[in-house]
Amino acid sequence: MLFETALGEIGSNVLTHGRPRGTEEPVDYVLRFDGGVVEASLTDSGAPVHEHLAREMPAHDSEQGRGLAMARSLLDELGYRRDGEVNRWRLVKRL
């Protein structure tokens, strides 16, 4: 359930922000399970994400900004890199 929650948080961000307005660029997901490790790879062509892994949990009265901090705490690995015009996310949970 921890992996599913993190995937929902990152996945909803990718679906919301992952395509430049007015384009038909795809958002790609790949899910894998092998040897007790579940991994998701998400690729999108949205704007670059800055300081994503360093973001702390926002104040208790904030209504946004929790997704990345939650995912980071729920996963064994949360990776992000900008590859040209593409965002690449990697989520890993060892079961």
Asked if 29 and 42 count as a contact pair (C-beta separation under 8 A), the reply is yes
Tokens of 16: 């919301």
Residue 63 C-beta-side C-alpha neighbours within 13 Å: 0
DSSP string computed for 42-87: EEE-SPPPPSTTTPPPPPTT-SS--HHHHHHHH-SEEEEEEETTEE
pLDDT (mean) for 44-73: 74
pLDDT, one tens digit per residue, over 4-56 is 999 999 999 899 888 888 888 889 999 999 999 999 999 999 999 876 656 66
Q: Which CATH superfamily is domain 2-94 in?
A: Histidine kinase-like ATPase, C-terminal domain (3.30.565.10)
Given CA atoms 35, 95, 28, 57 in this order, what sign does their dihedral have?
A: negative
* Model pTM score: 0.85
pLDDT (mean) for 43-70: 73
Q: What is the pLDDT of residue 52?
A: 60
